[in-house]
């Protein structure tokens, strides 16, 4: 363990320690006599001393010393009871500190630097203990050093070094709700760094110079390097999470939602760790985004196909039981609680300790042993099952009247809408028959034989691994899917592998309700759907008939009504049309829900943020895994074609038969299947892409290759592994090669990369928003581009401060409008930018200015309106300025509701009564009233002129 540095003489009379390892600055020593079995006299003497002397002399047998060349003292900085324990500290020192110490010109500074670092590590190790007084003290120091308000919550405090001019500055890194702050005071020099998360553009681990690895936090215009963390991986994850979550909240144009697990939960380090675990579990098992991890238990699952217990981890959420084997890819299991009949504990024995039996529908049961805290887990699962069944019973009772009528023949089941029956139209009739069954001719004999062969293989798989959503998922399943799912089983397995069937079973009749609600609905989404209907697989007979078009229309309109946040996005029509070929409408709807909301979240919103994030992740993987392509100009050309690969799951790039196999793999393995295939296609054409000087030629090569990929079972059987490039023209061989080359790319790794690259993509959108706003305003005002840019940044800062610590408004409006400010925010802007000195009437004038600028009466001002206002005050001629000041003293800027005794509000300018001036004697005349009003107006104008001249 690390010790608070303790000084001692470098040379002592008693040589009680033996040096095992040494370098220029550190010594690893062993207590003399420890481990000696020969009974040497020195070992016996040291042992006697340790026994006779007081307890302070009974030290651990291993220690690490800091020694500064030329110094007469050393410092004990770590100790351990075993060599392995102290070696871990020694390795950390070699990796993180040793090279850094050589940059110090003054050797006396080394001791101060290392001692401060070790104290910081000790503080990090004890950071998990609850210490309210200590935490409050840290928060007070943070407020004093950086001037942050008390409501700025401190999330974590880490010890690290900030590199400045190739010299490390040891200090503290404070991670708050909205800022990253670093403070160092070393050798009389103070260093302060404060970075809002909203300004962070990238977080990455890089190697710089002699330092093995640093954490680089980039903001607009510069970057800062931090190193020597106790746990670098945890520091990177926490910083990335905070930046990602803040950008989701404060940027109004992203269209992203804050994860539900953090909406009503105070943001703490523990909450971030729980959220990180939840996100990983959701990605690995493809669970709904509303789920959150409740319990995690290490256990062993009985796997009949292996005739043994498989060790792994059990994750429980509100609606699922998930198991993942310890060895990646051996076995995984997904059990919806809606399928569970009971969860019971069996009698424990030495062979089967703490067993738990989970019984599911279909007369199947799963046994788990070695479940720690078994009773607590069973109690939680029992309560969850009871609540789930009660909720389902209520939902089913409320929607009984909407359940579609089912006939005895499954392929001829219809749900009629009342409006459709009234007018005799078949446009709104929900068909329960896959489109392929209506437009497919007789299957060729050789293909029919191959289909039967694949069906037989799947039946064998079902018998060995189970059937349904709770089947054992192994590598054998992935191989079968890569061969292509038989047409007769495709719809069933799509629902099973993606778990869309569980959602459909949980919401009976919901799709029919959505179809009814969306009838006659006219929105932007429905208009876009109508434009794209005839662009969906136009060459396929199923969509050359009105029945296919109507089915696609119903599915897309139902989804747009179901998820108004997404509505409709191009490429959804391609995916839905392919699904409709082999699945019923209701099944396609739930498959679309699963793809858009679970497997590819944020892909299909207005800005397609999710797809852009995955494009950025793909480019990073390309540079790492296929560097010859990733580091050339061909990478830029790839972005224009690979985006459609991800949005349409290769369905628009491959022939239909091959695209179906890719869709099968995607629904089975998730996003990693698409990344692996995209990398494999790029890797296959490395030479062509690197040699090509024409971007158009490179794109044509990739497109031509994908168009030639076929799915012919006869070729698959005869395929020779030793064949040349021809094997890449078969989709099964291509998927196999993709998995073999890039199978180590997992869902967990992708989720970590997405968190980092989402920051870059969101900041890119923010930069585009700013550029658009400046481009629209620049021709209309006399302010320079630099001044407008500074104004935009100032308004953004005011907006963020209000979001951080006030009741600010975060409006997701038109992209060109940028940020919008309400009245309290505008008052702060007015006080800072107004050319007049602040006085008693500043608040009144600011309020009137806001009212005058708010022409749309929505109580918000845009960047364009504020820019025009400042342009009037600073750049227009005197007459325009006087006119503006005059307008502040008349309606609509002037209102009777103002509780103001200021001379700025004249009784002559009332908006609620006719023009009339009361005289002392009670007499009044129109001419006299008009003269008095003109006199008051002249006085106001003179005042305005004087003010402008003074300015």
Query: pLDDT at position 405, please?
Result: 33
Dihedral of the CA atoms 755, 319, 303, 500 (nearest 10)?
Answer: -80
CA distance 73 to 68: 8
Upper half-sphere CA count for residue 549 (Cβ side, 13 Å): 13
Dihedral of the CA atoms 643, 649, 652, 655 (nearest 10)?
Answer: 140
Q: Which residues contact 583 (CB under 8 A, 6 or more apart)?
A: 434, 490, 491, 494, 495, 591
Confidence of residue 48 (pLDDT cuts 50, 70, 90): very low
Which residues on neighbouring strands pair with residue 26, listed in sequence order? 66
Determine whether 680 is exposed, middle or buried from the number of CB atoms within 10 Å of its CB (0-12, 13-18, 19+): buried
- Residue 133, pLDDT > 60, answer no
Grouping H, G, I as helix, E, B as strand and the rest as coil, residue 158 is: strand
Residue range 137-159: average pLDDT?
86
- Residue 51, pLDDT > 50, answer no
Query: pLDDT at position 942, please?
Result: 57
140 φ, ψ (degrees, to nearest 5): -65, -45
- Residue 157, pLDDT > 60, answer yes
Confidence of residue 589 (pLDDT cuts 50, 70, 90): very high
Query: pLDDT at position 807, please?
Result: 52
Length of the chain: 951
Confidence of residue 931 (pLDDT cuts 50, 70, 90): low
Query: What does the mean pLDDT of the chain come to?
Result: 81
- Residue 725, pLDDT > 50, answer no
* Strands annotated E in 731-880: 820-821, 861-862
Query: pLDDT at position 172, please?
Result: 92
What token pair was written down for 354?
A: 């703490």
Distances (CA, A) of 333 to 324, 377, 465: 7, 18, 11
Q: How far is CA 185 from the centre of its chain?
A: 35
- Residue 280, pLDDT > 50, answer yes
Most confident region among 29-38, 54-63, 126-135, 400-409 by mean pLDDT: 29-38
3-state secondary structure 72-92: CEEEEEEEECCHHHHHHHHHH
pTM passes above 0.85: no
Distances (CA, A) of 129 to 159, 230, 590, 793, 864: 16, 16, 46, 40, 51
Q: Indicate the DSSP class of residue 897.
A: T
- Residue 251, pLDDT > 60, answer yes
Q: Considering only CA atoms, which of 655, 624, 897, 659 is closest in space to residue 757? A: 624
Q: What is the DSSP string of 12-61?
A: -SS--EEEEEE-SSEEEEEETTTT--S--HHHHHHHHHHHHS-GGG---S
4 φ, ψ (degrees, to nearest 5): -60, 125
Q: What share of the chain is helix, strand, coil (3-state, %, to 5)?
A: 55, 15, 30
The secondary structure element, H or E, covering residue 237 is: helix 232-250
Residue range 597-604: average pLDDT?
90
Residue range 439-461: average pLDDT?
80
152 φ, ψ (degrees, to nearest 5): -75, 110
Strands 167-176 and 179-186: antiparallel
What token pair was written down for 27?
A: 């010594």
CA distance 644 to 794: 38
Tens digit of each residue's pLDDT (9 = 90 or more) over 316-356? 999 999 999 998 888 999 999 999 999 999 888 888 899 99
Q: Indicate the DSSP class of residue 289.
A: T
Q: Indicate the DSSP class of residue 218.
A: E
**Lowest-pLDDT range of 203-217, 832-846, 930-944:** 930-944
Query: pLDDT at position 577, please?
Result: 95
CA distance 288 to 307: 32
Comparing 385 with 811, which gets the higher pLDDT? Answer: 385
Upper half-sphere CA count for residue 723 (Cβ side, 13 Å): 15
What token pair was written down for 795?
A: 């308004």
Q: What is the DSSP string of 303-357?
A: ETTTTEEEEEEEEEESSEEEEEESSTTS-EEEEEGGGEEEEEEPPP-SSS-S-EE
Comparing 764 with 925, which gets the higher pLDDT? Answer: 764
Query: pLDDT at position 590, please?
Result: 96
Confidence of residue 757 (pLDDT cuts 50, 70, 90): very high
Residue range 685-712: average pLDDT?
83
Confidence of residue 481 (pLDDT cuts 50, 70, 90): very high
Query: pLDDT at position 329, please?
Result: 82
Confidence of residue 749 (pLDDT cuts 50, 70, 90): very high
Comparing 687 with 52, which gets the higher pLDDT? Answer: 687
Query: pLDDT at position 428, please?
Result: 63
CA distance 308 to 480: 23
Query: pLDDT at position 819, please?
Result: 80
Q: Which residues contact 669 (CB under 8 A, 6 or more apart)?
A: 478, 481
- Residue 489, pLDDT > 80, answer yes
- Residue 907, pLDDT > 50, answer no
Query: pLDDT at position 47, please?
Result: 52
What token pair was written down for 717?
A: 């059987």
Grouping H, G, I as helix, E, B as strand and the rest as coil, residue 162 is: strand
Strands 200-208 and 356-360: unpaired
Confidence of residue 400 (pLDDT cuts 50, 70, 90): low
User: Strands across the sheet with 73-80, in order?
Assistant: 2-9, 73-80, 62-67, 26-31, 17-22
Q: Which residues contact 773 (CB under 8 A, 6 or more apart)?
A: 792, 816, 817, 818, 863, 864
Tens digit of each residue's pLDDT (9 = 90 or more) over 508-525? 889 999 999 988 888 899
Is the CB of residue 310 less than 8 Å from the CB of residue 291?
Answer: no
Most confident region among 40-49, 50-59, 796-805, 857-866 by mean pLDDT: 857-866
**Lowest-pLDDT range of 269-273, 681-685, 860-864, 943-947:** 943-947
Q: Considering only CA atoms, which of 70, 73, 86, 72 is closest in space to residue 19? A: 86
Q: Considering only CA atoms, which of 17, 96, 106, 22 is closest in space to residue 66? A: 22
Is the CB of residue 866 less than 8 Å from the CB of residue 821?
Answer: yes
* Vertex 475 angle, CA 471 and 476, to 5°: 70
121 φ, ψ (degrees, to nearest 5): -65, -40
Confidence of residue 717 (pLDDT cuts 50, 70, 90): very low
What token pair was written down for 401?
A: 């009247």
CA distance 28 to 702: 58
Q: Which residues contact 649 (CB under 8 A, 6 or more apart)?
A: 575, 659, 662, 663, 666, 674
Comparing 715 with 118, which gets the higher pLDDT? Answer: 118
Grouping H, G, I as helix, E, B as strand and the rest as coil, residue 401 is: helix
- Residue 635, pLDDT > 70, answer no
Determine whether 869 is exposed, middle or buried from the number of CB atoms within 10 Å of its CB (0-12, 13-18, 19+): buried
Residue range 168-186: average pLDDT?
90
Peptide bond before 892: cis, by omega within 30 degrees of 0?
A: yes
Confidence of residue 396 (pLDDT cuts 50, 70, 90): low
Tens digit of each residue's pLDDT (9 = 90 or more) over 767-804? 888 898 899 899 999 999 999 999 998 888 888 887 77
CA distance 54 to 658: 79
Rg of the chain (C-alpha set): 35
Which residues on neighbouring strands pair with residue 170, listed in sequence order? 161
Share of the chain above pLDDT 90, in %: 39
Q: How far is CA 309 from the centre of its chain?
A: 35
Share of the chain above pLDDT 70, in %: 80
Most confident region among 294-308, 629-643, 686-700 by mean pLDDT: 294-308
Q: Which long-range contacts (CB under 8 A, 24 or more apart) does 478-482 make?
A: 478/665, 478/668, 478/669, 478/739, 481/664, 481/665, 481/668, 481/669, 482/661, 482/664, 482/665, 482/732, 482/735, 482/736, 482/739
């Amino acid at each position: 363990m690390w010790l608070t540095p303790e000084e001692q003489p470098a040379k002592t009379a008693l040589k009680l320690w033996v040096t095992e390892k040494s370098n220029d600055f550190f010594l690893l020593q062993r207590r003399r006599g420890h481990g000696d079995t020969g009974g040497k006299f020195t070992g016996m003497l040291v042992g006697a001393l340790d026994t006779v002397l007081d307890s302070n002399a009974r030290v651990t047998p291993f220690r690490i010393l800091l020694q500064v060349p030329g110094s007469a003292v050393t410092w004990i900085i770590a100790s351990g009871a075993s060599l392995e324990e102290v070696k871990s500290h020694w390795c950390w020192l070699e990796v993180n500190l040793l090279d850094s110490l050589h940059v110090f010109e003054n050797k006396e500074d080394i001791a101060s630097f290392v001692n401060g670092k070790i104290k910081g590590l000790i503080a990090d190790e004890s950071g998990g203990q609850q210490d309210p007084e200590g935490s409050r003290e840290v928060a007070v120091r943070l407020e004093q050093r950086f001037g942050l308000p008390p409501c700025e919550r401190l999330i974590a405090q880490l010890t690290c070094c900030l590199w400045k001019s190739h010299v490390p500055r040891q200090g503290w890194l404070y991670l708050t709700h909205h800022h990253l702050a670093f403070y160092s005071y070393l050798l009389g020099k103070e260093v302060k760094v404060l970075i809002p998360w909203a300004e962070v553009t990238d977080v990455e681990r890089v190697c710089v110079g002699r330092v093995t690895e640093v954490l680089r936090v980039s903001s607009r215009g510069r970057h800062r390097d931090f190193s020597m963390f106790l746990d670098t991986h945890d520091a990177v994850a926490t910083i990335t999470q905070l930046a990602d979550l803040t950008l989701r909240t404060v940027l109004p144009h992203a269209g992203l939602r804050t994860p539900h697990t953090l909406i009503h939960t105070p943001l703490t380090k523990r909450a971030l760790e729980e959220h990180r675990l939840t996100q990983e579990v959701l990605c690995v098992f493809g669970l709904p985004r509303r789920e959150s991890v409740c319990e995690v238990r290490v256990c062993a699952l009985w796997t009949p196909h292996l005739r043994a217990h498989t060790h792994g981890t059990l994750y429980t959420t509100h609606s699922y039981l998930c198991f993942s084997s310890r060895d990646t890819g051996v076995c995984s299991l997904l059990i919806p609680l809606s399928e569970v009949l009971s969860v019971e504990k069996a009698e424990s024995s030495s062979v089967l300790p703490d067993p738990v039996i989970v019984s599911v529908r279909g007369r199947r049961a799963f046994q788990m042993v070695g479940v720690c805290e078994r009773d607590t887990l069973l109690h939680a699962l029992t309560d969850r099952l009871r609540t789930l069944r009660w909720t389902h019973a209520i939902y089913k009772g409320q929607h009984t009247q909407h359940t579609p009528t089912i006939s005895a023949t499954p392929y001829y089941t219809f749900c009629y809408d009342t409006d459709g029956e009234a007018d005799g139209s078949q446009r709104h009739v929900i068909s329960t028959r896959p489109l392929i069954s209506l437009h497919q001719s007789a299957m060729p004999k050789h293909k029919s034989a191959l289909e039967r062969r694949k069906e037989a293989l799947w039946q064998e798989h079902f018998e060995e691994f189970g059937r349904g959503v709770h089947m054992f998922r192994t590598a054998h399943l992935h191989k079968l899917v890569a061969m292509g799912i038989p047409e007769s089983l495709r719809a069933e397995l799509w629902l099973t592998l993606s778990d869309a069937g569980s959602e459909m079973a949980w919401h009976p009749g919901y799709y029919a309700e959505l179809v009814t609600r969306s009838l006659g609905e006219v929105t932007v989404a429905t208009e876009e759907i109508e434009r794209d209907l005839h662009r969906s697989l136009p060459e396929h007979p199923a969509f050359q008939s009105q029945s296919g078009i109507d089915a696609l229309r119903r599915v897309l309109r139902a989804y747009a009504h179901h998820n108004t946040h997404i509505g409709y996005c191009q490429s959804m029509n391609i995916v839905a049309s392919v699904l409709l070929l082999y699945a019923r409408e209701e099944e396609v709807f739930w498959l679309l829900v699963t793809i858009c909301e679970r497997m590819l979240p944020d892909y299909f919103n207005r800005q397609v943020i999710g797809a852009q994030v995955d494009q950025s992740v793909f480019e990073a993987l390309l540079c790492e895994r296929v560097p010859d392509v990733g580091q050339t100009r061909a990478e830029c050309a790839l972005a224009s074609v690979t985006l459609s690969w991800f949005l349409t799951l290769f369905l628009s790039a491959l022939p239909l038969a091959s695209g179906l196999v890719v869709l099968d793999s995607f629904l089975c393995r998730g996003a990693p299947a698409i990344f692996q295939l995209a990398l494999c296609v790029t890797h296959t054409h490395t030479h062509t892409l690197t040699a090509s000087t024409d971007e158009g030629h490179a794109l044509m090569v990739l497109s031509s290759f994908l168009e030639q990929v076929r799915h012919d079972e006869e070729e698959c059987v005869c395929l020779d592994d030793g064949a040349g490039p021809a094997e890449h023209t078969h989709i099964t061989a291509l998927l196999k090669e993709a998995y073999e080359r890039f199978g180590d790319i997992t869902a967990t790794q992708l989720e970590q990369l997405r968190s980092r690259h989402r920051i870059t993509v969101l900041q890119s959108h923010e930069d585009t928003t700013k550029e658009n706003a400046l481009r629209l305003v620049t021709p209309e005002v006399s302010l320079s581009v630099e001044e407008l840019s500074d104004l935009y940044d100032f308004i953004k800062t005011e907006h963020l401060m209000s979001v951080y610590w006030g009741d600010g408004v975060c409006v997701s409006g038109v992209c060109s409008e940028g940020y919008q400010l309400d009245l309290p925010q505008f008052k702060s802007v007015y006080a800072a930018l107004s050319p007049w000195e602040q006085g008693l009437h500043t608040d009144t004038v600011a309020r009137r200015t806001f009212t005058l600028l708010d022409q749309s009466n929505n109580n918000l001002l845009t960047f364009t309106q504020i820019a025009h206002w400042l342009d009037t005050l600073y750049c227009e001629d005197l007459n325009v300025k006087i006119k503006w000041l005059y307008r502040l003293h008349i309606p609509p800027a002037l209102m009777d509701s103002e509780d103001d005794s200021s001379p700025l509000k004249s009784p002559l300018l009332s908006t609620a009564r006719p023009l009339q001036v009361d005289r002392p004697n009670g007499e009044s005349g129109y001419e006299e009233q008009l003269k008095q009003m003109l006199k008051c107006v002249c006085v106001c104008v003179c005042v305005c002129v004087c003010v402008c001249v003074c300015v």
